[in-house]
């Protein structure tokens, strides 16, 4: 059983990460966006602290299921994100 489940942003990063964390962790790279907010009418629950409600994208449900199965076997989950162009905007854009 893996002690940790590390989820990275791409298959290339997963291969690199496995070489670093191979002794204690597994990496499960999703391919693209796996979940989205539910339709407009129900995406935000104002009665529950404005909690967001998500649903798996049909084309990536198998990735979500794989991650869920892997998580059941792990002691901890780490989301290894990195700042990139999609996540931040330059001043003036």
Comparing CA positions, the residue from 50, 74, 92 lying closest to residue 2 is 74
- Domain membership of residue 89 (yes or no) is no
Tell me the CATH number at 57.
Answer: 3.40.50.140
- Domain membership of residue 90 (yes or no) is no
- Domain membership of residue 30 (yes or no) is yes
d(CA 46, CA 29): 32
CB atoms closer than 10 angstroms to residue 2 = 17
- What pTM did the predictor assign? 0.59
Task: Give, for all 93 residues of the chain, the pLDDT tens digit.
Answer: 568 888 877 777 777 777 777 666 767 666 667 778 887 677 888 898 998 888 888 888 888 888 888 888 888 888 877 666 554 444 544
The number of residues making up the chain comes to 93
Q: What is the pLDDT of residue 24?
A: 65
28 CA to centre of own chain: 9
87 CA to centre of own chain: 14
- Into how many domains does the chain fold? 1
Q: What is the pLDDT of residue 49?
A: 92
- Domain membership of residue 85 (yes or no) is no
């Amino acid at each position: 059983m893996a002690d940790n489940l590390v989820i990275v942003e791409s298959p290339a990063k997963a291969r690199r990460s496995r070489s670093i964390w191979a002794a204690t962790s597994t990496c499960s790279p999703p391919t693209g966006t796996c979940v989205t907010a539910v339709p407009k009418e129900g995406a935000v629950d104002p009665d529950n602290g404005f909690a967001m409600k998500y649903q798996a994208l049909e084309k990536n449900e198998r990735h979500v299921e794989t991650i869920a199965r892997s998580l059941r076997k792990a002691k901890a989950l780490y989301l290894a994100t990195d700042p990139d162009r999609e996540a931040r905007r330059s001043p003036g854009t």
